[in-house]
Amino acid sequence: MNKPNILFFFADDQRFDTIAALGNRAIRTPNLDRLVQRGTAFTDAYIMGGSCGAVCMPSRAMLHTSRSLFHIHDMGRDVPADHALLGETLRAAGYDTFGTGKWHNGTSAFARSFSHGGEIFFGGMGDHWNVPACDFDPSGQYAAQIHQTTDFPTQTVRKWTADHIEAGVHSTELFSDAAVDFLRQRQPDGKPFFAYVSFMAPHDPRTMPQEFLDMYPPERIELPPNYLQRHYFDNGELGVRDEVLAAIPRQEAEVRQHIAAYYAMITHLDDHIGRVLETVEAQGLLENTIVVFAGDNGLAVGQHGLFGKQNLYEHSVRVPLVFAGPGVPAGQRREALAGLIDIFPTLCDLLELEIPESVEGESLQPCFDDRRATVRDTMLFAYRHLMRGVRDSAGNKLIETAAGGQCHTQLFDLQRDRWEQRNLAGDPNHAEMVLLLRGALTAWQQDWDDTQQEHGAAFWSQMEWAND
C-alpha cells in the first residue's frame, strides 16, 4: 500500500473545550465528534504562547517548523532556509502538497511547502465574507497578487452579528471549496497527498450564515464558572484589540452573545470539515488518510474577565489536537503533555520518514502505543516579555506576570481547579511548589534562548520577590 495521505485541518482561535465529543454539551460538532471516535485526542495539548499580540503568527511558525517559541525567525513572519518545513519535508518525500487558507508566515515559506494551492490568504485576520485571497503561483512570486488585494472594510466592534451584511462567500466555505476542488481534480498518479486546510474561523469578526447562529440563542448560553467583569490585575495587555471587542467591565448579556456566535462559527466550520471528509471518503481514500485537527491557540471570550488569547490561562494556551487514520488507535484519549510543535515529528514517525535535524518537537507516536507514555514532564509558556508560565504532568501550573510596575504570581492545581479560579501562590503549604516551578522557568530562560529577556529585564528581576 502507498504511504498514507494526510489531511490537516487547522482552526483559528478554537479553544480546546469546543468539541462535543470531548465534553462540551452546549456545542454541536458532529463531524469533529466522528473524527474523535475514529482516532486519538490529546486532551492536554498546548501552544508555547506568543512573542507578539498576533499569537497565531508564531504559533503557525512553530507548527510548520517544529521550532520552539524563541527559536523561530522574526516571530514567524518568515522561515529561513535551514528550518525545515512540514510541507517541504513531505514534498521531498514524494507527496503532492496542497495549501489553502490562512498562512501568515511569508510567501517564500509557502512556496517551499506546497506544490499546489488555491485561495491563499497571506494576511492575518479580517472580514470572512471578503477574503483577499491569492491564486496559487508555482513560481512563488505572490507580491503582485498581494499588492492587488484590497484592505478589509472597517467594521464597528461589538456589532458584527447585528449589522453585518453578507457580501460574498464565507472564508470557511471558500477554503473548503478549494480543498474539495484539489481532491477531485488531482491526477491519480500514485502519489500520496498532503492537504493543509487552514481556516480563519472561529476568529472574529464572529459572522456566519444565520442558520448556524439561530442554533444558539444567547439567553440559553451558560456563562463559564470563571466569568469575571474585570481581570484581577493589569496584565499589560488589557487594552489590546482583542480585549476591546466587548465592553469593560464585561456585561453578561454581551458575553453570552459572543459565546453564542463563537459556537455558531465552530458549528459552521464543522459542517464544512464534514464536506471535505466526505470528498475523501467518496474517493475511497479515507481508510488510508491520516486526518489531523488542531487549533492555533484558544480564546477567553469572557473567562477571567478577558476576551483574547494574550495570556497564559488554559482557555488561551490549550488547544484541540486529534489524530485519526493509519497507525492511530480509534476512540482513545491521551493525557500526555503535547504541543503543536510535536505534530511535525509525529507525522514523520507515522510515515516512517527521517525527522529533520532542525525539528525540536517530540514525536507523540509512543503515546499511540502506550496510553501511559509521556514525551515531556513540563510544558513551558511565554507571552511577550510580560508573562511566563509552566505546568507539570500532575497539573500544577505557575503563571508569573510583570506589568504596570507590579509582579503577580499565580499557582493553580488543574486537577482540582480546572477553571483556574483559586490562586494557591500565597499559601505556605504550596511555597515549595512555587519554587520548584520557578526553577523550571529559570532553566528555560537559559536553555531555550529567551530572546525577549532583554525587553523584560524588570520582569526577571522582580521574579525574586513576586509572591502574591
Asked whether residue 269 falls in the same domain as residue 398, the answer is no
* Cα–Cα dist 41/437, whole Å: 27
Among 332, 349, 369, the domain boundary falls at 369
Of 2-16, 284-298, 438-452, which gets the smallest average pLDDT?
438-452
Q: Higher model confidence: residue 450 or residue 193?
A: 193
Mean pLDDT, rounded, for 209-223: 98
Asked whether residue 192 falls in the same domain as residue 276, the answer is yes
63: domain CATH number is: 3.40.720.10
CA 178 centroid distance within chain? 21
Among 334, 369, 404, the domain boundary falls at 369
Asked whether residue 72 falls in the same domain as residue 110, the answer is yes
Asked whether residue 365 falls in the same domain as residue 385, the answer is no
Of 117-126, 398-407, 456-465, which gets the smallest average pLDDT?
456-465
Asked whether residue 72 falls in the same domain as residue 194, the answer is yes
Asked whether residue 397 falls in the same domain as residue 349, the answer is no
Asked whether residue 112 falls in the same domain as residue 141, the answer is yes
* Residue 467 domain-assigned (yes or no): no
Angstrom distances, CA of residue 139 to CA of 90, 95, 135, 143, 195: 19, 18, 12, 11, 19
* Cα–Cα dist 223/256, whole Å: 7
Which runs of E-coded beta strand occur in 307-361? 318-319, 321-324, 332-334, 338-339
Asked whether residue 307 falls in the same domain as residue 415, the answer is no
Grid coordinates representing 245 are 471587542
446: domain CATH number is: 3.30.1120.10
Q: How many other β-carbons are positioned within 10 Å of the β-carbon of residue 97?
A: 26
* Residue 360 domain-assigned (yes or no): yes
Of 119-133, 210-224, 228-242, 414-428, which gets the smallest average pLDDT?
119-133
Among 318, 344, 369, the domain boundary falls at 369
Spell 169-191 as b/e; 16+ CB within 10 A means b: bbbbbbbbbbbbebbeeeeeeeb
The pLDDT score that the predictor gives to residue 12 is 97
* Residue 468 domain-assigned (yes or no): no
* 428 CB-near residues (< 8 Å, 6+ apart): none
Entry pTM: 0.94
Q: Higher model confidence: residue 102 or residue 151?
A: 102
Q: Provide the pLDDT confidence category of residue 75 given band limits of 50, 70 and 90.
A: confident
Asked whether residue 52 falls in the same domain as residue 120, the answer is yes
The pLDDT score that the predictor gives to residue 401 is 96
pLDDT by residue (tens digit) across 233-280? 999 999 999 999 999 999 999 999 999 999 999 999 999 999 999 999
Task: Let me know: does 246 contact 255? Beta carbons within 8 Å.
Answer: yes
* Cα–Cα dist 48/297, whole Å: 9
Domain that holds residue 438: 378-462
Q: What is the CA radius of gyration of the chain?
A: 21
CA atoms within 13 A on the CB side of 295: 32
Of 84-98, 139-153, 370-384, which gets the smallest average pLDDT?
139-153
Asked whether residue 357 falls in the same domain as residue 414, the answer is no
* Residue 271 domain-assigned (yes or no): yes
Asked whether residue 33 falls in the same domain as residue 180, the answer is yes
Angle at 412 between CA 410 and CA 53, to 5 degrees: 55
* Residue 156 domain-assigned (yes or no): yes
DSSP, collapsed to helix, strand or coil, labels residue 258 as helix
Mean pLDDT, rounded, for 445-468: 61
Alpha helices in 4-148 (DSSP H): 30-38, 56-65, 86-92, 107-113, 143-148
Grid coordinates representing 375 are 514525551
Asked whether residue 338 falls in the same domain as residue 403, the answer is no
Domain count, the chain: 2
Residue 390 sits at φ, ψ, to 5 deg, of -155, 145
